[in-house]
Amino acid sequence: MTRVLCAEILTGCVIAAGLIGCREPTRPQASMSRTDSATIRDANARLQSINAPLDRQCIGSATGSCAMTLTPAAYFCDGLQCSIWGVPQQQNPITGTFPKPVYQLIVGMDGKFYCSGMYGTVTVFNRSGAQVEERGFTLDDPSDCGEDNITCCATDTLQFPGGIGHVVVSPPQPWGDIGASYTFWFDTTRAPTVDSCFTTDELLNQQAMRDMLRAAWDSSNANDIPSNRRELKVWLFEDSTGALVHGLYRDPANDTPCTSFGSPHSLPGVPVAAGHPHPFAPKDTLPANCGYTTPHLYDITKYGGASGQDITAAQNDSLPFYIIDKNNIYAYPLGTTQKNAKSKVRRYPRVDAATGCVLP
């Protein structure tokens, strides 16, 4: 993933209502003239606060791959501090919404607020809108708090490992000529949990996905005679802790070597992906109980592994889906149709002759 950064981040970001933009800011001023609240301390603390987050993949922006929306505004201020910044007073909680789930969020707070007060919190909601975490800010440099009881910078490093749909930021307290603006660092994809045979597919780099596909293949009777083989439905979920888990679902009365109808009676989490096995190798002759009246080959040329019915079902589920057969794993992203399937599908050999890598 290409790292995206604001070009002016080292000089600061001022955030307008609903958007994030960078310009040369007016630095927050201490309410009392003390050596421990001088510009040098402010700058040093700020550099300390952004040093680690600069390794993140994204800094939240109004558009592009790091897009997010902040309402009603991406800052808090009252009294004199609003006048110094040239912005309206803003004391309402800030809601940050992501167009797709993000991961490993860090929120940086910059400005002028009281050391002896409350620094505010970030409340995290998962991709289904359920609250999963609330964590407070920690001062970047407690030694910055001197006789004026004023500091500039704090960081909130969220621990929830799953996909984040939106966050709510509460203000520092007490009020009294204070101000705070916020920078959001996050990953746009889930970090891999496998340690080898990496692919270009985010979910296929998760151990839970590989476990799901292996279980699907092992449960399909792929080594039995063709008429005894069975497709089955599999789903990947994100549970309430943010972990990925999978489920295998059969419909013994209706499943065939070429179709599957199983579905979960209850969901163990938020569905993230769907899939099923094709227990054949390309060009294998399909058995009669697949429903064909004439000899029919397992064909991967038309849709890259899937059938037209597979693609329609995936469109109805609104999930990326995966197929595993004897030779390959096929990944179909959201937006795949019968017209664009061959250009959308990504095929991964289960055994890569060039690298020696073995996938499920």
In a domain, 22, yes or no: no
Q: What is the pLDDT of residue 57?
A: 81
HSE, CB side, 13 Å, CA atoms: give it for residue 147. 6
Final residue of a structural domain among 125, 153, 187: 187
In a domain, 198, yes or no: no
180 and 287 fall within a common domain: no
Residue 187 has phi, psi (to 5 degrees) of: -95, 140
Closest CA to 120 of 87, 98, 151: 151
pLDDT at 12: 35
**Residue 282 resides in a domain:** yes
pLDDT at residue 45 greater than cutoff 60: no
Q: Tell me if 19 is assigned to some domain.
A: no
Q: Is 207 in the same domain as 169?
A: no
pLDDT of residue 55: 54
- The rounded distance, in Å, linking the Cα atoms of 358 and 360 is 7
Q: Is the pLDDT of residue 6 over 80?
A: no
Domain count for the chain: 2
245, 179: one domain: no
Give pTM, 2 decimals.
0.82
Please, what sign has the CA dihedral across residues 334, 338, 339, 342? positive
Does residue 157 lie within any of the structural domains?
A: yes
- Burial readout 185-204 (b: 16 or more C-beta within 10 A, e: otherwise): bbbbebeeeeeebebebbbb
Q: Which residue has the higher pLDDT, 20 or 293?
A: 293
75 and 100 co-located in one domain: yes
pLDDT confidence of residue 68: 97
Mean pLDDT of the region 120-147: 96
Q: What CATH number does residue 110 fall under? A: 2.60.120
Question: Are residues 115 and 227 both part of a single domain?
Answer: no
56 pLDDT tier (thresholds 50, 70, 90): low
pLDDT mean across residues, the chain: 87
What secondary structure, in 3-state letters, does the chain show?
A: CCCECCCCCCCCCECCCECCECCCCCCCCCCCCCHHHCHHHHHHHHHHHHHCHHHCCEECECCCCCECEEECCCEEECCHHHHHHCCCCECCCEEEEEEEEEEEEEEEEEEEEECCCECCEEEEEECCCCEEEEEECEECCHHHCCCCCEEEEEEEECCCCCCEEEEEECCCECCCCCEEEEEEEEECCCCCCCCCCCCCCCHHHCHHHHHHHHHHHHCCCCCCCHHHCCCCEEEEEECCCCCEEEEEECCCCCCCCCCCCCCCCCCCCEEEEEEEECCCCCCCECCHHHCCCCCCECCCCCCECECHHHHHHHHHHCCCEEEECCCEEEEECCCCCCCCHHHHCEEEECECCCCCCECC
Mark whether 208 and 181 lie in a shared domain.
no
Query: For 252-288, how does the pLDDT look when each residue is reduced to its tens digit (9 = 90+)?
Result: 999 999 999 999 888 999 999 999 999 999 999 999 9
Cα 82 from Cα 110, distance rounded (Å): 14
pLDDT in tens, 232-251: 999 999 999 999 999 999 99
Domain stops at, among 131, 163, 187: 187
**Which of these three, 187, 217, 237, is where a domain ends?**
187
Q: How large is the average pLDDT for residues 143-150?
A: 92
Distance CA 45, CA 48 (A): 5
- pLDDT above 50 for 24: no
Is the pLDDT reported for residue 344 higher than 60?
yes
Residue 65 lies in a domain: yes
Higher pLDDT, 40 or 93: 93
Least confident of 3-7, 147-151, 161-165: 3-7
Residues 131 and 216 in one domain: no
Domain that holds residue 75: 35-187
In a domain, 80, yes or no: yes
Residue type for 64, please? G
Same domain, 183 and 39: yes
Residues 6+ apart with CB under 8 A from 149: 114, 115, 116
The tens digit of pLDDT for each residue in 178-210 reads 999 999 999 999 999 999 999 999 999 999 999
Residues 86 and 210 in one domain: no
Asked if 310 and 230 sit in the same domain, the reply is yes
Indicate if the pLDDT at residue 66 is higher than 60: yes
Same-domain check for residues 151 and 179: yes
pLDDT exceeds 80 at position 132: yes
Residues 230 and 183 in one domain: no
* Residue 173 located in a structural domain: yes
Residue 37 has pLDDT above 90, yes or no: no
